[in-house]
């Protein structure tokens, strides 16, 4: 399981440079999984920005999605941190 978590973490770090924005919405980071970790049913994502916990959400494997977007508060500067846990 640790190997899977490390794999997810590496992919998250690799893909952090992919910054996208949508019309009228907050800018975000698009994170894409090359493959779901073996045995994973969900990804639990917790987001912090500027030292404050902003939100957390679940990405279920059952939806068939291979990625998710983490928004960045528009007009703000600071450190974005994420914790991605395989469940």
Residue 21 has pLDDT above 60, yes or no: no
Specify the CATH number for 2-86; select among 2.60.40, 2.40.30, 1.10.3470, 2.40.160: 2.60.40
Residue 20: predicted pLDDT: 41
Please state the rounded mean pLDDT for residues 28-35: 89
Domain boundaries, the chain: 2-86
pLDDT of residue 15: 54
Residues 25, 33: Cα–Cα separation, whole Å: 23
pLDDT at 45: 94
What count of other Cβ atoms lies within 10 Å of the Cβ of residue 11? 18
Identify the residue with better confidence: 4 or 42. 42
| pLDDT 10s digits, 32-83 | 989 999 999 999 999 998 899 999 999 999 998 888 988 888 888 889 899 9
List of residues 6+ apart from 24 with CB closer than 8 A = none
If we measure between CA atoms, which residue out of 7, 10, 22, 35 comes closest to residue 72?
Answer: 22
Q: How far apart are CA 42 and CA 57, in angstroms?
A: 10
């Amino acid at each position: 399981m640790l190997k899977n978590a490390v794999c997810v973490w590496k992919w998250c770090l690799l893909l952090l440079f992919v910054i996208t924005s949508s019309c009228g919405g907050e800018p975000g980071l698009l994170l894409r999984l090359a493959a779901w970790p073996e045995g994973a049913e969900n990804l639990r994502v917790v987001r912090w920005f500027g030292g404050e916990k902003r939100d957390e959400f679940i990405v279920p494997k059952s939806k068939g999605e291979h990625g998710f977007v983490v928004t960045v508060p528009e007009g703000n500067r600071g450190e974005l941190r994420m914790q991605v846990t395989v469940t």
